Amino acid sequence: MADVAQPIGILKQISLIAGLRWRLLHNNLRKKQSRLDLIGLIVLSLFAAAVVLGLSFAFFAGAYDFASTGKAGLLALLFWAIFLWWQVFPIVVAGFGVSFEFRTLLRFPLSFGAFYIMGLAYGLADFTSLAAVCWLLSIVIGASAASLTLLPALLIVTAPFVLFNVTLERLLGSWLERLLARRRSREIFFAAFILLMVSLQLLGPLLNRYENSAAPWAARLLPYFAYFPASLAGRGVGSASLGDFRGLLLDACGISLYAVFFGILLWLRFAAQYRGEELAESPAPQRPITRAELKPESRADALGLLSPQVAAVIRKEFRYLLRNGFAALLLFLPPILVLALISQAASFRFAGSKTGFSSEFFFPGLVAYIILILMAPAYNSFAYEGNGVQTYFTAPVRFREVMLGKNLVQVCLILTELVLCVIAFSYRVRLPLAPIFAATLAAIVFTVVGQLSIANWSSLSFPRKLAFGQVHGQRQSGMAVLVAFGAQILLFGISSLVLGLGRWTGDRWLPAKAFALLAAAAVGGYVASLDALTAYAEKKKEGLIEALCR
């Protein structure tokens, strides 16, 4: 007869889970990589502690100033700053951090009380919350130092403010976890995130342009912010400083109501998780929608000039690129950044152009920048293949065809991006002079083709699997990054030397001629390298398959 497990108390359950977390951390440190990561984490923690401490002084000083000058109501500004930090920062880092999914513990007989407390405890134990609590303490100490009579009022509003923030942060975190559990929504999230980051580049020019017209709009919105918890907290302390304790209590009750409301929502979320909410990647079984209709294609094959294998790889690469939200989005970056750079550079004054800056150096510089960004993925070009990489070795195909297919896609992308950027550049500035333009075109061939040979070797030598449309926990192979870095320094160094030589000799066409020669050599080297790579791939196939099929 089997024993029946006896129920254990909440505290015991929590201590068991804390022990498990410690054991996981301890065992993880057995790996060298993890130990290095820990050292990095410690260094980062010291840096973060310095930032938190510095800002604590700032909050202290701000609170002291407001309280001592009779403007306690302005403490709302500090509460707003903390509120925004507490709620926004965890969302920004959500996709990048490694988290422990405590929902996995549900297979054990864990009570809902313990589960809820654990969930809240996780909310209080992270860096964001610790920093926020430090800053709130600084406000309390700063304002109390200025006027000790404010201390009770500060405590009355700060306590529900902390509870409100922890609850809301956990609620948002829980929803975010649900959102990021699905591939498609994760990709959309990261797409939005990258777009946001790119948009920040345009913030400066936009502010300059709409500064005056936006101010009245912002002023009209301000009164609505008075009913948010951070405003209530500031107003409560302000009321207390004027002896209006009824106002203080009303504002504290308002914050508490927010805390209770979000507490109930969090309870419902956790209850759903506790019941065993499904966060799987795969969609639920669905009824068949349509039946595949495979009509024979009458139109000519656009890639008919290429061998079927190369054409198949090209098609597959394009599909992968368009479906990989994160990678596809990176393609939009160069033209946007070029536009932003041109806009920001408009303030510089160089001779000989409509907007006042010279295209002689700016144009090759921009092109180099685009190549730098777009060539980076080529150094680990099998990153997203996964198990599919086996097909390249089981199919009757020489690896030169696979590489050629991948490289052609890469070249197509770079050409498209360059054309877009040249159009943007000539619209905002003007086309550079013929010798510079020709030299840049030849330099493009030299640097791109030259890099492709090295990048192909790097892809086979230092493969690293990356998850599709995901930034979370993604890291390129250190060696591949090093090779890319070295190759780019070498090739761009040679290019700079050639450009400098043209200037030094005074022969404006010399760089174009030199780059044409270098480009021809690079193309010859590339063609010769393809067969060598086929043999090299055979040699490296085990490592490649092992790295990508994990």
Shortest distance (Å) from residue 466 CB to another protein: 12
Shortest distance (Å) from residue 340 CB to another protein: 31
Contact flag: residue 281 with another protein (CB under 8 A): yes
Residue-wise DSSP of 422-433: HHHHHHHS-PPP
Please pick, from the candidates 147, 309, 447, 477, the single residue that binds another protein as defined by CB under 8 A.
309
Contact flag: residue 9 with another protein (CB under 8 A): no
Please pick, from the candidates 283, 305, 351, 506, the single residue that binds another protein as defined by CB under 8 A.
283
Range 46-75, binding another protein (CB under 8 A)? none
380/453 with CB nearer another protein: 380
Rounded distance between C-alpha atoms, residue 186 and residue 476, angstroms: 20
Contact flag: residue 538 with another protein (CB under 8 A): yes
Cα–Cα separations (whole angstroms), residue 283 to 63, 140, 182, 183, 323: 51, 49, 9, 10, 17
Q: Is 283 left (phi over 0), alpha (psi -120 to 50) or beta?
A: beta
Stretch that binds another protein, among 264-272, 386-394, 474-482, 499-507 (CB under 8 A): 386-394
Residue 330 corresponds to which tokens in the numbers above?
Answer: 């990176």
Sign of CA dihedral 24, 28, 30, 34: negative
Tell which residue, 136, 124, 106, has the closest CA to residue 170.
124
Shortest distance (Å) from residue 99 CB to another protein: 22
Please pick, from the candidates 384, 446, 515, 526, the single residue that binds another protein as defined by CB under 8 A.
384
Shortest distance (Å) from residue 177 CB to another protein: 20
Please pick, from the candidates 33, 104, 208, 394, the single residue that binds another protein as defined by CB under 8 A.
394
128 within 8 A of 86, measured Cβ to Cβ: yes
219/294 with CB nearer another protein: 294
Stretch that binds another protein, among 153-161, 192-200, 340-348, 395-403 (CB under 8 A): 395-403
Contact flag: residue 408 with another protein (CB under 8 A): no
Burial 189-202 (b: 16+ CB within 10 A, else e): bbbebbeeeeeebe
Please pick, from the candidates 204, 243, 388, 543, the single residue that binds another protein as defined by CB under 8 A.
388
Rounded distance between C-alpha atoms, residue 362 and residue 103, angstroms: 54
Q: How far apart are the first and last CA of the chain?
A: 42
Range 476-535, binding another protein (CB under 8 A)? none
Interface with another protein (CB under 8 A), residue total 47
Q: What angle do CA 454, 459, 465 make, to 5 degrees?
A: 155
Stretch that binds another protein, among 210-218, 239-247, 337-345, 388-396 (CB under 8 A): 388-396
Interaction pattern, residues 320-359, with another protein; x per rule: CB under 8 A:
x--xx-----------------------------------
Q: How many H-runs (helices) and E-runs (strands) does the chain carry?
A: 18, 0
4/222 with CB nearer another protein: 4
Contact flag: residue 472 with another protein (CB under 8 A): no
Sign of CA dihedral 114, 115, 118, 120: negative
Shortest distance (Å) from residue 98 CB to another protein: 22
Tell which residue, 173, 188, 150, has the closest CA to residue 102.
173
Rounded distance between C-alpha atoms, residue 330 and residue 443, angstroms: 23
Contact flag: residue 290 with another protein (CB under 8 A): yes
Contact flag: residue 396 with another protein (CB under 8 A): yes
Shortest distance (Å) from residue 33 CB to another protein: 21
Residue 276 corresponds to which tokens in the numbers above?
Answer: 């065993």
115 within 8 A of 10, measured Cβ to Cβ: no
Contact flag: residue 80 with another protein (CB under 8 A): no
Rounded distance between C-alpha atoms, residue 170 and residue 259, angstroms: 12
Shortest distance (Å) from residue 23 CB to another protein: 25
406 within 8 A of 313, measured Cβ to Cβ: yes
213/286 with CB nearer another protein: 286
Question: What DSSP designation does 304 have?
Answer: T
Range 155-214, binding another protein (CB under 8 A)? 183
Shortest distance (Å) from residue 25 CB to another protein: 31
Q: By the criterion CB under 8 A, which residues form the site for another protein?
A: 2-3, 183, 281-283, 285, 288-294, 296-297, 301, 308-309, 311-312, 315-316, 319-320, 323-324, 384-391, 393-398, 468, 538, 541-542, 545, 549
